[in-house]
Amino acid sequence: MDIALIGIGKIALDQHVPALTASADWNLAATCSRHGAVDGVDAYTDFDTLLADRPEIRVISLCLPPAPRFDYAARAIAAGRHVMLEKPPGATLSECHRLEDMARAAGVSLFATWHSREADMVPAAQDWLADKVVHKLHIDWREDVRKWHPGQDWCFEPGGMGVFDPGINALSIMTRILPRPVHLSSAVLDFPANRHTPITADLRFSDGVSAWFNWAHQGTEHWDIEVETDSGTLTLHEGGARMVINGETQGRADGLHGEYPRLYKNMAQLVAAGGIDMDLAPLRHVADAFMLGERREAAPFDW
């Protein structure tokens, strides 16, 4: 299938282009970006022109930041195209619900992707936990924003979500592996004095679940989830690439490389089946944290 990639920036070049190039399902037929392009691929700078000029491209993959994404997705759906959304699927829950309604009415596929759910050991963790009683789950998600989003001011603008941009990856895994749903009960969010979104978040949920997100972390990142159950402890490390159950390690260190190839495989199946996959549970928890969280002022942040 022909596909167009929109918003040629960090994640498009790091992950989407290599995954599409290696895939037997997809042909990267065009890009649309105001500044970016991909060597050897037709490049548009105006989205409406691409939609009008290239009716044979039935699938649009949006790699933009969340705030501008709704407008592009709505135009693609109105033009009868199937749409794949980077995470988080939108800047608000309401716009995501609207997109789903629009896609249903237009009879096109819509896929809210959660790349961390495709990490190697996440399905195995979900299977192992399915029949366990979970006593506690703790997420420790720390990384350096200067390394992973260098100079990307949109992260600190309204709709950019701040530390929830990486934190929502952990929440996407949590909502996939927990055998029962939980809800947020309190949160403390630290906003740099000169920014609009938080740089750390301390979250408490029901049922013994908690999370610590820190974007000001220096050095090696920690992307860990520890689950205490009636049958022992399961820990996911490295964003779900490695799993340890009661001291026994499973999984490889390069287990994140399969995430985007699996997302595109899923999208190919979704389009073939004519389905919609819009699980908004991770975004719901983020929205709750902004609604319920205590806001504290932190030191100003500059790149």
Residues within the interface to ligand NAP (CB under 6 A): 7-12, 33-36, 63-66, 68, 86-87, 115, 148-149, 152, 154, 165
Nearer to ligand NAP, 87 or 117 (CB): 87
Smallest separation (angstroms) from ligand NAP to the CB of 294: 25
Nearer to ligand NAP, 26 or 164 (CB): 164
Smallest separation (angstroms) from ligand NAP to the CB of 215: 12
Q: Name the CA dihedral angle for 68, 271, 36, 159, rounded to a multiple of 10 degrees.
A: 20
Nearer to ligand NAP, 7 or 293 (CB): 7
Catalytic positions are 87
98: CB partners within 8 A, 6+ apart: 70, 74
Alpha helices in the chain (DSSP H): 10-11, 17-22, 47-53, 66-78, 93-106, 122-129, 145-148, 164-177, 259-273, 281-292
- Residue number with the smallest Cβ distance to ligand NAP: 9
Nearer to ligand NAP, 221 or 226 (CB): 221
Nearer to ligand NAP, 86 or 100 (CB): 86
- In 3-state terms, what secondary structure has residue 130? coil
Burial class (CB in 10 A: 0-12, 13-18, 19+), 138: middle
CA quadruple 161, 166, 170, 175: dihedral sign = positive
Smallest separation (angstroms) from ligand NAP to the CB of 8: 5
Considering only CA atoms, which of 195, 198, 207 is closest in space to residue 135?
207
Smallest separation (angstroms) from ligand NAP to the CB of 36: 4
How far is residue 4 from each of residues 25, 156, 302, measured CA to CA in Å? 13, 28, 34
Smallest separation (angstroms) from ligand NAP to the CB of 25: 21
